Amino acid sequence: MEIIRVTGKNKLEGEVQLQGSKNSALPILAAAVSVNGISVIHNCPSLTDVDAAIKILEHIGCHVSRQNSTVVIDSTDVDRCDIPQHLMHEMRSSIVFLGPLLSRFGSACVSTPGGCEIGLRPIDLHLSSMRKMGAVITEDSGVLNCSCNGRLQGSKIVLSFPSVGATENIMIAAATAKGTTVLINAAREPEIRDLAVYLNNCGAKIKGAGEGTVVIEGVKQLHSVEHSVIPDRIIASTFMAAAAVTGGKVLIKGVVPSHITPVISTFEEAGCRVDTGASRLYICAPKKLNRVKTIRTMPYPGFPTDSQAIVMSMLCLAKGTSVIVENIFENRYRHVHELRKLGAKIDVEGKIAIVEGVDTFKAAHVCAPDLRGGAALVVAGLAADGLTEIENIKLIDRGCQDIEKLLRSLGADIVRVNAV
- Could you give phi then psi for residue 46, rounded to 5 degrees? -95, 95
Taking the CA atoms of 342, 306, 326 and 125 in sequence, report the sign of the dihedral they define.
negative
400 is catalytic: no
C-alpha span between 78 and 71 (Å, rounded): 17
| Residue 45 lies near ligand EPZ (rule: CB under 6 A) | no
Which position among 166, 264, 292, 336 is part of the footprint of ligand EPZ (CB under 6 A)?
Answer: 166
Q: CB atoms < 10 A from the CB of 363, how many?
A: 22
Query: What is the smallest separation between the CB atom of 286 and ligand EPZ, expressed in angstroms?
Result: 28
Give me the catalytic one of 44, 62, 81, 116. 116
Restricting to residues 107-136, which ones interact with ligand EPZ according to CB under 6 A?
Answer: 116, 119-126
Query: What is the smallest separation between the CB atom of 360 and ligand EPZ, expressed in angstroms?
Result: 27
The sheet with strand 136-140 has its strands ordered as 107-111, 143-147, 136-140
Binding mask 177-196 for ligand EPZ (x = CB under 6 A): ----------x---------
| Residue 139 lies near ligand EPZ (rule: CB under 6 A) | no
Residue in the shown chain whose Cβ atom is closest to ligand EPZ: 165
Binding mask 299-338 for ligand EPZ (x = CB under 6 A): ------xx---------------------xx---------
C-alpha span between 163 and 181 (Å, rounded): 17
Do 394 and 48 form a contact (C-beta atoms < 8 A)? yes
The SS3 call for residue 140 is strand
**Distance spanning both ends of the chain, measured CA to CA:** 7
Binding mask 19-38 for ligand EPZ (x = CB under 6 A): ---xx--x------------
Q: Name, in order, each residue with C-beta under 8 angstroms of 296's C-beta and a sequence gap of 6 or more.
A: 302, 303, 324, 325, 327
Query: What is the smallest separation between the CB atom of 39 and ligand EPZ, expressed in angstroms?
Result: 18
The closest alpha carbon to 69, from 28, 40, 90, belongs to: 40
| Residue 93 lies near ligand EPZ (rule: CB under 6 A) | yes
Which residues form the catalytic set?
116
Which residues contact ligand EPZ (rule: CB under 6 A)? 22-23, 26, 92-93, 116, 119-126, 161, 163-166, 187, 305-306, 328-329, 371-372, 399
